[in-house]
Amino acid sequence: MNVTIAIVAFTCLVSWLAFNNRNLFDQLCHYPYAEYKRGEKFRWLTGGLIHADVFHLFINMYVLYEFGKMVEYYFTEVHGMTAGMIMYVTFYFFTLVLSNVPTYLKHRDNAHYRAVGASGATSAIVFSFIVFEPTAMLGLFFILPIPAVLFGILYLFYSSWAGKKNADNIDHEAHFYGAVAGFLFTIAMKPALFSLFIHKIVSVF
């Protein structure tokens, strides 16, 4: 069983347990007020292991599975089997934690704000894929396929705009910063990937 499937299975298990146990949900959710007042920084991690409902879980795990299996493959190709798998796991959970920091800073005095979901880490996985395959055509959920790099640009613009508008209950900051972290850390682990990224884009023209 590959690492991506293991992460999906573990996240589904924890999410399912939390669906049926409100106390567990409250103990694990990303709750900036408790993280600030009580020092419960572990929620930056555990908040990404639970989801609001089955549909929320399905969306995140579908994206993680579809892109994660490819990113995992690229990590093992670039860094070697063992090192690549270790770096992939570290990458996923590090970006999961990091993507929750902006909302912690924004809402740490708001006792009513809570967030859940792995969207920050799944955004990081998608943008890691974009580093490797910027010209691949993406057609998520039957949307008209567009080049991955264009999808990434549109995604960042939308996440930034929606985060500032703050008109819904979606943690757009986690999406934005998770995506940026995924792109930058993939390159930081192997700087030569950036020149390959540029070359693949330029070669299309």
pLDDT tens-digit series, residues 30-70 = 999 999 999 999 999 999 999 999 999 999 999 999 999 99
Please tell me the distance from the alpha carbon of residue 85 to that of residue 87, in angstroms, as a whole number.
Answer: 5
Structure confidence at residue 164 (pLDDT)? 83
Please tell me the distance from the alpha carbon of residue 40 to that of residue 26, in angstroms, as a whole number.
Answer: 12
Structure confidence at residue 140 (pLDDT)? 60
DSSP-based three-state secondary structure for 111: coil
Query: How many domains does the structure of the chain reveal?
Result: 1
- Say if CB 85 and CB 3 are below 8 A apart: yes
Structure confidence at residue 172 (pLDDT)? 87
For the CA atoms of 52, 141, 97, 155, the dihedral, rounded to the nearest 10 degrees, stands at -120
Per residue in 155-176, pLDDT (tens digit) is: 999 999 988 877 666 788 999 9
Among 2, 120, 102, 110, smallest CA distance to 51 is for 120
Global pTM? Answer: 0.93
Structure confidence at residue 163 (pLDDT)? 82
CATH code of residue 13: 1.20.1540.10
Both ends of the chain: CA-CA distance in Å? 39
Q: What is the number of residues in the chain?
A: 205
Query: Who contacts 61 (Cβ-Cβ below 8 Å, separation ≥6)?
Result: 8, 11, 12, 118
DSSP-based three-state secondary structure for 118: coil
Mean pLDDT to the nearest integer, 84-89: 97
Domain boundaries, position 154: 3-204
Residue 199: CA atoms inside 13 Å, Cβ hemisphere, count? 6
